[in-house]
Amino acid sequence: TQLLEQSPQFLSIQEGENLTVYCNSSSVFSSLQWYRQEPGEGPVLLVTVVTGGEVKKLKRLTFQFGDARKDSSLHITAAQPGDTGLYLCAGDAGANNLFFGTGTRLTVIP
């Protein structure tokens, strides 16, 4: 079983602050996806990273895939209350079978 550990598990910050969420594994993934899930809904894809060292930006969100394709980070600049949710990373180990991380629950306080 490929284990994806995310940290921190919970994060509560003030509006306007920056934050980074980490996704780590001992396994190598052919690609890695980040999802955000809001209460009562299913996860929604934010981004897919494929190449080791790749950096992708989505407005105030910056995603990075580790050089060895075992880890990833999500950085949010100037967090807003609308960023509140459960952030999940998911790795594709090559069999088109996504393994989801443990999740980081983010709360942005106005």
Partner 1 sequence: DAGVIQSPRHEVTEMGQEVTLRCKPISGHNSLFWYRQTMMRGLELLIYFNNNVPIDDSGMPEDRFSAKMPNASFSTLKIQPSEPRDSAVYFCASSLTPGFEMFFGSGTQLSVL
User: Would you tell me which residues interact with partner 1 (CB under 8 A)?
Assistant: 31, 33, 40-45, 48, 88, 90, 92, 95-103
Of the pair 9, 26, the CB lying nearest partner 1 is at 9
Shortest Å distance, C-beta 100 to partner 1 = 4
Of the pair 66, 101, the CB lying nearest partner 1 is at 101
Q: How far is CA 49 from CA 15, 30, 75, in A?
A: 27, 9, 14
**To which residue do tokens 């807003």 refer?**
80
Of the pair 35, 71, the CB lying nearest partner 1 is at 35
- CA–CA dist 110, 105 (Å, integer): 16
Whether residue 73 contacts residue 90, with contact meaning beta carbons closer than 8 Å, is answered with: no
Shortest Å distance, C-beta 41 to partner 1 = 5
